[in-house]
Amino acid sequence: MAAPALPAWDDNIVWTVKSIYRKQPKGKSEKGASPEDPDLAGWSDPLYWSFTVKIKKGPSGANYYLVQVRNRDGSKANMASLFFAKFRPQPDGPEVLSLFKGKYYSMVGDQPRQVAKTYAKPPSLPQPVFADDSLIPYDLPALPFLAPAPPGQAKTALTRTYSIVDQSDGLKFARDVIQLEHQRMTIEAFCGKEVVEYLKTKGWPTSGVTLVELRRQFDGCRVKQVWNVKVPWFLYSESPTCRSWLWEIETSAKPVTEPVHNPSAAAPSASSPTPSPIQSAAHGPQQPAPSASSEPQGPPSSPTPPTSSGKP
């Protein structure tokens, strides 16, 4: 059986995600509100987020990635620096792709705001991540997905449960998250006919997809996503407050500059990229996972990899 695959990211590859957001409920005290108003005011106009990858080669070919995210047209000041590592937890096991750190920039009133989060640090196994700290759609399942049932075996949903430690006000809380990978469900049954039509219109793959659902136990939050590892990011994502679609892909871009502390100074993208096929990334020799005690002190224009500590 072939090893589970990961998205292939080339240096300077750029993809754009289109997102809409559920508007906040109208309060009855709001001017102009009436009892006939619906509980929810609908969805926002779309925002377009550009994701740009910078690859940093670690010792003996290990890969670390800085993915910088900006609003494409500059209408929102939000930005993010997402730090990923690709490594093998076991020398003879499959590669994993782990989002192990994120820095999120926004404006609150006229004041810049920055939030830094550390997730599962290598050599720990990847964990699902919920986009709790930014408008940017960075919800991410644990990758790679589990191998599907071989021919002749019953296809049942593949389930993994993670106990994720979250820290708030100096206190640590364990949050259980279930990752459910459906095997007997169609895209239409999973997220609606309009998503199928969208994928066909854009030319995105509709076969060989993974339908994954993240369920967070303590607040009931659910995220549903459609993935195909032939493209660099999810094809579709849906949460209670946001819906996102992969919009465009280009295979190269100008070098990304370092985010500044005042996000309002971010320059919008100069042009709208044109979709193009993803080229397969060549896989170099792999090393054991990096040390958990070291991480990028970014956001640099390309991340400095952690030092290797031998076998995980």
Domain residues for the domain of 78 are 14-23+43-148+161-265
Residue 308: its pLDDT value, please? 37
What is the domain count for the chain? 1
Return the biggest CA–CA distance within the chain: 65
Of 96, 87, 14, give the one whose Cα is nearest residue 53.
14
pTM score of the predicted model: 0.76
Residue 160: both structure tokens together: 């993994």
**69 domain residue, yes or no:** yes
**What is the C-alpha separation between 10 and 7, in angstroms, rounded?**
10
**140 domain residue, yes or no:** yes
Please report how many Cα atoms fall inside a 13 Å half-sphere around the Cα of residue 172, on the Cβ side: 4
Asked if residue 297 has pLDDT above 50, the reply is no
Residue 190's H or E segment, with its range, is helix 187-191
Among 15-29, 90-104, 276-290, which stretch is predicted with the lowest mean pLDDT?
A: 276-290
**What is the C-alpha separation between 111 and 141, in angstroms, rounded?**
32
**52 domain residue, yes or no:** yes
pLDDT tens-place string over residues 198-221:
999 999 999 999 999 999 998 999
**48 domain residue, yes or no:** yes
**What is the C-alpha separation between 286 and 270, in angstroms, rounded?**
37
Residue 179's H or E segment, with its range, is strand 171-182
pLDDT tens-place string over residues 75-110:
899 999 999 999 988 888 899 999 999 999 999 989
Mean pLDDT of the chain: 79
Which amino acid, 183?
Answer: Q
The single residue listed with the structure tokens 């296809």 is 155
Among 148-162, 197-211, 259-273, which stretch is predicted with the lowest mean pLDDT?
A: 259-273
Assign residue 169 a region (left: φ > 0; alpha: ψ between -120 and 50; beta: otherwise).
Answer: left
Among 59-68, 81-90, 120-129, which stretch is predicted with the lowest mean pLDDT?
A: 59-68
**What is the C-alpha separation between 167 and 289, in angstroms, rounded?**
25
Asked if residue 298 has pLDDT above 70, the reply is no
Residue 199's H or E segment, with its range, is helix 193-202
**280 domain residue, yes or no:** no
Residue 43: both structure tokens together: 């969805």
Asked if residue 116 has pLDDT above 90, the reply is yes
**62 domain residue, yes or no:** yes
Q: What is the mean pLDDT of residues 227-236?
A: 96
- DSSP strand pairing (96-108 vs 79-87): antiparallel
Asked if residue 263 has pLDDT above 60, the reply is no
**35 domain residue, yes or no:** no
Among 108-112, 120-124, 232-236, 298-302, which stretch is predicted with the lowest mean pLDDT?
A: 298-302
Asked if residue 20 has pLDDT above 60, the reply is yes
Higher pLDDT pick, 7 / 1: 7
**292 domain residue, yes or no:** no
Asked if residue 33 has pLDDT above 50, the reply is no
**What is the C-alpha separation between 28 and 284, in angstroms, rounded?**
60
